[in-house]
Structure 1
Amino acid sequence: MSTDQQKDERPSANNEAESMTHTGAMALVKKELTDIIKSDPLLCDLPPEITLDEINSQVALEYGQAMVVNVIRADNQVMGVVVTQNATVLDLKHAIKRHFLLHQSRIGGTTVLSWRYIWKRHWLYYDGQRLSENNDKLKEYGIRNKDEVTFVKRLRER
């Protein structure tokens, strides 16, 4: 049998895979990933454009290695931010930044923020306490899973 005859006898699926473009392959993978996420009870509430960090955070939550801190913005919008159990205030700030940037990329926003400016002009408060020391652990302030932290604009100090 010649090699031409062997090529013709290959299944059509291989021919389709060879002729699939990169964009088509990415669309197929995205669709399959979305189906997997929707069918899994642990991952079903995650967006289809999920990142590896978000998957790791969900797994850590499931095993009790992480907690959700609900950050309440000035417009009363609540952001559920995932941090490890032994996270510091700085870790929470990084998680807020990561959450905001992911949200912006998913809605197609291109807002560029100076996070240094944001943290100079705003405080995080929990139960009347200002979270001022970046190296303090959240547990030292009494913050537990699903507690609410408020994002408040600083008043000018004179």
Structure 2
Amino acid sequence: MAEAEEELAHAEVLELFQAALARLVQDPLLCDLPPQVTPEEIGSQVALEYGQAMTVRVCKADGETMPVVVVQNATVLELKKALRRHVQLRQARQGALPRSPAALPLNLFCFFLPRKYIWRTYHLTYAGEKLADDRKKLRE
């Protein structure tokens, strides 16, 4: 007996996927995640629970702290990428960014600039030491 193939529009598939993710985050293990969770965030949360990842708390100069999840053997470069993704997700959830960089507040303007410029101008530090070597493991 052949099953009838059902065609769904991209928007319908996306809606079904988001609904399934919303049900998934009702699990006690994942309940800290936002309602508009991404598969990447679910994977990170599961990795944290199994000890395969760690949370790095990045403190900005203005006192804001951002929890960023990276794998246990992450490099400085991987932390930078995870930090950028964290900020992009947060901004997307707060509302769409303006299309013009000139319309942005100064602290968001930097996300329209090339990544190399940002990390030459701003630095990550730990215990007073600048994390300059992108290949260095965070555990070191």
Are residues 1:99 and 2:86 paired? yes
Q: How many residues align?
A: 121
Q: Hey, what's the Cα distance between the residues in 2 that align with 1:33 and 1:136?
A: 35
Write out per-residue CA displacement over residues 56-112 of structure 1, whole angstroms, 9 at most, x where no aligned residue: 111110110100000011211111000111111001001101111111111113165
Distance 1:22 1:83, change over 3 A: closer
Structure label with greater radius of gyration: 1
Aligned residue for 1:37?
A: 25
Aligned residue for 1:135?
A: 135
Aligned residue for 1:123?
A: 123
Q: Hey, what's the Cα distance between the residues in 1 that align with 2:138 and 2:14?
A: 40
Give the structure with the larger strand fraction: 1
Distance 1:36 1:56, change over 3 A: closer
TM-score (norm 1): 0.67
Secondary structure at the aligned position of 2:132 is classed as coil
Q: Hey, what's the Cα distance between the residues in 2 that align with 1:54 and 1:85?
A: 16
Aligned residue for 2:60?
A: 73
User: Displaced runs of 4+ in structure 1, greater than 2 A?
Assistant: 20-36
TM-score (norm 2): 0.75
> Which structure ranks higher in relative contact order (CA pairs < 8 Å, sequence separation ≥ 6)?
1
Q: Hey, what's the Cα distance between the residues in 2 that align with 1:29 and 1:138?
A: 34
Q: Hey, what's the Cα distance between the residues in 2 that align with 1:53 and 1:104?
A: 16
Q: 1:23, CA displacement in angstroms?
A: 5.8
Q: Hey, what's the Cα distance between the residues in 2 that align with 1:42 and 1:21?
A: 32
Aligned residue for 2:34?
A: 47
Relative to structure 2, which stretch is displaced further, 40-49 or 27-36? 27-36
Identity %: 50
Unpaired segments ≥5 residues, structure 2: 1-5, 98-107
1:135 maps to amino acid: R
